[in-house]
Amino acid sequence: MLNVVLYQPEIPPNTGNIGRLCHATDTRLHLIEPLGFSLDEKSLKRAGLDYWAELDVKVWSSLEECLKEAVDAKVWYLSTKPERSYWDAEFSADDFLVFGPETRGLPESLILINSEQGLTIPQARGRSLNLATSVGIVLYEAIRQVSL
């Protein structure tokens, strides 16, 4: 099972939409605190529709605690900062895809320490893509590779 990790997400509709995506693809969603919202907020549930109760979601107090589950799995850190495109990654079935908060992304120190596992989504212009869009792009590439 693939794993999507949202590090300190801030915007409920993004997390709800990502939850809906994870439900549809049988992907586990990991949320790293602090969250910028309450999990019972109406906007989060509305974005996740009625799937939220069925979603395989875990909430963690830290990224370190979450990644203890990634024993033999690869952990990929998605950001605008790495040079390596997600197209060049070789994804496996148990991989963890880690995405940062909407307003600031993953901490630069985390990207530097894990530079070999840093990935980006190439784009011609703009600062960054919407978080839910980014998760969808990378998750479906991972699913494509795992399904081959």
User: For residue 70, what is the domain's CATH number?
Assistant: 3.40.1280.10
> By residue range, what is the domain housing residue 94?
3-147
pLDDT of residue 43: 63
State the total domains in the chain: 1
pLDDT tens per residue across all 148 residues of the chain: 999 999 999 998 899 899 999 999 999 999 999 999 888 766 666 665 677 888 999 999 999 999 999 999 999 999 999 999 999 999 999 999 999 999 999 999 999 999 999 999 999 988 889 999 999 999 999 999 999 7
pLDDT of residue 49: 61
pLDDT of residue 46: 65
Rounded CA separation 10/30 (Å):
14
This prediction has a pTM of: 0.94
Cα torsion through 60, 94, 138, 4, rounded to 10: -10
Rounded CA separation 98/31 (Å):
10
Nearest to 134 by CA among 90, 52, 76, 94: 76
